[in-house]
Amino acid sequence: SQQGEEDPQALSIQEGENATMNCSYKTSINNLQWYRQNSGRGLVHLILIRSNEREKHSGRLRVTLDTSKKSSSLLITASRAADTASYFCATAKTGGGADGLTFGKGTHLIIQP
């Protein structure tokens, strides 16, 4: 079963606007990660936030984590057409490094030029 559930499933905004995607998960986590996937390609790691962190920034990305609500959000500011992609949150089944990540269903983001 999927650990993470993103919403919305699809999001279309105008270039320059901010895009916010949310993710909920069910079990305890060591960290939560966000990945991006361009159509028909592999995934690219964007950002990781640890369970003891509440907010993290990386360039135009801002991630928040609320462990009490088991939810995370990814904000992309000043969106660009090149940001069009699917975005997935991912969690590890345990805190160890040998486990594969479990991915949510993803949010398909479309940036209209």
Partner 1 sequence: GAVVSQHPSRVICKSGTSVKIECRSLDFQATTMFWYRQFPKKSLMLMATSNEGSKATYEQGVEKDKFLINHASLTLSTLTVTSAHPEDSSFYICSARERTGEAGANVLTFGAGSRLTVL
Binding residues for partner 1, rule: CB under 8 A, are: 2, 30-31, 33, 35, 40-45, 48, 88, 92, 95-106, 108
40/59 with CB nearer partner 1: 40
Pick the closest to residue 85 from 8, 11, 33 (CA basis): 11
104/71 Cα distance (integer angstroms): 12
Q: Which residue do the tokens 């801002």 mark?
A: 62
The least CB distance from residue 16 to partner 1, in Å, is 27
In the bound state with partner 1, the residue whose beta carbon lies nearer, of 41 and 57, is: 41
d(CA 56, CA 82): 22
Nearest distance from C-beta of residue 32 to partner 1, angstroms: 11
- Choose between 15 and 67: whose C-beta lies nearer to partner 1: 67
Report the candidate in 12, 69, 2 with the shortest Cα–Cα distance to residue 21: 12
